[in-house]
Structure 1
Amino acid sequence: MVDGVLSHLGRLGAGLLVTVELTAASFAGAMVLGTLLAIMRIVPVPLLRLCAAIYVQFMRNTPLLVLLVLFVFGLPEIGILYDLFWTVTTAMAMYGAALVAETIRSGIRTVPPGEAEAARALGMTTARSLRHVILPRAFRSMVQPLGNIFIAIALSSSLAAAVGVTELTGETDLINLEFADAGPTFLVSTALYLILTLSIGFVTGLLEKKVAIGR
């Protein structure tokens, strides 16, 4: 049994690498889009606030697997074709952006209103006050929640196997189909996911302590 698992470590490692790449790219995209959505939800422009709210509610109430299927199999039907990895990354980033947006919006609410008023009194525009005053202060309360979203995206990346991406779960399933070695192989796969999520949690904890010291 041990020899069988050891012989598959190279393939599992390759699958883990794809999982890490997929997770990192999806989270980065979610951060960019989520920040934009959070800003849209707080600016005094009703149409922007409505559009962002609809987007967030739609994504939060749509299963990620459904979204992946729509992107992977639906986009080619309307003539949109591009790499499977980036198709899945886009879907996961758009899904995660809704979670990031709500986290950032909650973080912004922790900033005392007086700081925004002081920024306006100094002649700062809304964009400048967000960039230089509100978001940096809000980030201190968002580190742990954003870390949790990062972990959630890492675990959710296993759904990519259902649409053909050979990440860790997909590679594990292929090994099982070829060698009928489900138990040990999936145990190793589980351990690799655990190492990945614990690593994210560890880095998040360090970052949270660092920003806490800077308060």
Structure 2
Amino acid sequence: MYSCFALMLLLATSLIAQTGKSSPPVSKVFAVLTKSLDSKIAKADDEVNLRTLNDVVVDGVVAIPSGSRLIAHISDTRDQAKSAPQSELAIVIDQAITKDERKIPLQAIIAAIVAPQDDSLSSDATYEMMHSNEPKMIGGRPSSTSSTGELSASSKASSSAAVATANLKGSMDVLRLDENSQGALGYEGVSLSWRLDAPPPVTIIASKKNVKLLNGTQMLLRMAPPRLPK
């Protein structure tokens, strides 16, 4: 039941700008990839590790503290070099593990990613915005409908609070995304889409070339409010 509810919640959030209705409660977390991913060598069931950059607060209680681990896995891969139309990494977010080893199941999608900052032109914020790719949502079959990523006032307030509590402990942790971020920034030709036809929700990162996400890539995740373990 919870999985179905979470799935509907994520779907409703992604369509909020198109319907004009109020957004349901959605938690957001900024996280950083701690090990590079490469579609040429990745395989199904490989573990993906992220570290949270802000507290996730639910009903006034910190459910997932900054610095917690987010555990995900590769659910599927496609390699463009092997006659596929494009390379893909399909990622499922599984759980958060806090520093005191509490495990919290998650139902989440990756709404935006941004490449690590460097001294090249691609690290310039204006360049990134001009080269971003809109995320797409996939139901039972592929869809070309793009989400605008607009949030309700309550969601924006929640996200602003997340930004304010972000943990800035080094260049990797300086937030380069915000609550309005969407798609892939700093990764030319890379796009995000979601598969929500059955739980768990899947985020698909695709490119006509090889998909390679570098260590230090930041991500914005949207999720059903996590339930604290009893």
TM-score by length of 2: 0.23
Structure with the higher helix share, 1 or 2: 1
Higher Cα radius of gyration = 1
